[in-house]
Homo-oligomer: A and B are copies of this chain.
């Protein structure tokens, strides 16, 4: 068996250690005679798995007690509707910051449920490759103090733009407006102060676990403003009151996520992951910046540590580049079809060795094609 370096943007590489444990436990979990996949979600075995997973996630992210942690389904795209269905039932005004493809998707879906204002956008038509390379200055955000919430995308997976500072809503005169953040592609990559957010959501398939699981962390005072047509299975209060078991949860995905939370704790937690992620991103961006062949257009201060899009200045080399990469076991480097070029996703499970392998290839390929 040989494992490749997998730069997929999601579903993405997972720790081999976790996969080995899952394979070993596949037919008989802890001597109970069943696979985790075969357990009733109401039984004590799965009960212990989901409780431990929630406790570990709370510990890793230091989630305050007045926040519910929900294990849901449908990913970020479902949440684009589920969030407004849950939060716009009483007051339907919502402000958005547009910084890339994912915030645009969220904006479009929310327009079906509420009065949406794009309070700021960094879309730049003059950029040829990708239209988003920055975050609009907070001073230019046209926020409404009577909005039900302010939504932003913490890390734009396609465009490679990441927030490293969160807006100071008090200072902006909207201290009462809950901040909702799509953290799908950078949750667990560094410590965050959960108390600054009203709601955080994340599809699992980048830093949490398998596709099909969505995590929502929501301040409990926001549980009671749902639209009357919000489906019960996606109603946050209902899900919270039933400890994520109003409907049958994606049990195996929760189990794998739980193994990953334990793996993260063994690595040293999120402060350690942040150190490693900074080192990995630094190495890769340094290589791109010192090259004449590769280019990344994103402003340095908001360059994503998780998703590094880049372009070959000579795009006729794209196919050759990808073939050579694959031959070396460097997989899934093709950029998103909407922007083209290349993209290296370097989530928690990608070790620095994988980035070194990529950087070595980048240098050699450039030398060959200089």
Chain A residues at the B interface, C-beta cutoff of 8 Å: 1-4, 6, 8-14, 16, 19-20, 22-24, 26-28, 32-35, 37-41, 43, 73-78, 80-82, 85, 109, 112-113, 203, 205, 209-213, 227-229, 231-234, 246-253, 256, 329, 331-332
Contacts and interface: CB of A to CB of B under 8 A. Distances in A.
A38 B12 contact: yes
Given A14-B35, A43-B332, A247-B74, A1 B28 contact: yes
A1 B19 contact: no
A183 B232 CA distance: 20
B232 A73 contact: no
A217 to B, nearest CB: 19
A37 B256 contact: yes
A229 B80 CA distance: 12
Contact of A27 (B10, B19, B39, B40): B19
- Chain copies in the assembled complex: 2
A24 to B, nearest CB: 8
The 10 closest A-B pairs by CB, nearest first: A212-B250, A4-B33, A81-B231, A77-B247, A23-B26, A78-B233, A73-B73, A8-B40, A212-B212, A23-B23
Nearest to A256: B37
Contacts of A77: 232-233, 246-248
A205 B78 contact: no
A77 B332 CA distance: 36
